[in-house]
A and B are shown apart, each in its own frame.
Chain A
Amino acid sequence: GAVVSQHPSWVICKSGTSVKIECRSLDFQATTMFWYRQFPKQSLMLMATSNEGSKATYEQGVEKDKFLINHASLTLSTLTVTSAHPEDSSFYICSAWDRRGSYEQYFGPGTRLTVT
């Protein structure tokens, strides 16, 4: 199957700072990528849908000014958590939609964010 990578795999930052997470589709072009958040012992919650060359669509309750998403190319989407706080500590997972005829999403390995 298609490969999606994320960088970094884990990051620790201080409260009030910003952190950027990258999501790359390695062997296909992804016009659409998705960002999910997963708290411990919970399921994945969709945060936003990222389309190449346009603004992201955020789910209800997700602050778009806090979670900045940029999808500047067909292989890269970034999520920036601005002014991070301890409650933003979570597992962030991206996925990419491969439109070459299949309908499934391919997920990255996730990024563990800890805000101290």
Chain B
Amino acid sequence: DAKTTQPPSMDCAEGRAANLPCNHSTISGNEYVYWYRQIHSQGPQYIIHGLKNNETNEMASLIITEDRKSSTLILPHATLRDTAVYYCIVSKGYNYGQNFVFGPGTRLSVLP
């Protein structure tokens, strides 16, 4: 079973920030939080990952709470092309013998 819970769906207006929450209350100290997204009929696309600190890249920002029990993926200026299913995954990474377990994710719809 996935170690994360996400809302099944969210809407966001084009141009506004999309804030996607993820709960991972049983996360262990050496597990990372990964975010991927899957646009219809394509393979998942890596977005960002983090351990403790907040992270930012050209696609998004990841905010992890101090107790690491939840996180938020922020798409700062959502576009129609950001409509996708977003998956939050907790894992040590295969380097430590742990595979990815995908939950149902959050279906984000960016509205014009």
Contact = CB atoms under 8 A, between A and B. Distances in A.
B44 A107 contact: yes
A4 B38 CA distance: 15
A87 B43 CA distance: 21
Nearest to B100: A105
A36 B101 CA distance: 10
A1 B46 contact: yes
A43 interface: yes
B76 interface: no
Given A1-B46, A43-B87, A105 B41 contact: no
A46 B99 contact: yes
Q: Report the interface size class on chain B.
A: 20 to 34
Contacts of A49: 94, 99
B7 interface: no
Tell me whether chain A's interface is mostly helix, strand or loop, or mixed.
strand
Interface string A69-109: 00000000000000000000001010101010001111111
Interface stretch (B9-17, B21-29, B102-110): B102-110
Contacts of A44: 38, 44, 102
A32 interface: yes
A109 B38 CA distance: 10
A105 B1 CA distance: 19
A97 B46 contact: no
Interface string A21-51: 0000000000010101000001111100100
B87 to A, nearest CB: 7
Given A1-B46, A6-B43, 20 more contacts: A32-B94, A43-B102, A43-B105, A45-B102, A46-B100, A46-B101, A49-B99, A99-B95, A103-B49, A103-B91, A103-B92, A103-B93, A104-B34, A106-B46, A107-B36, A107-B46, A108-B43, A110-B42, A110-B43, A112-B41
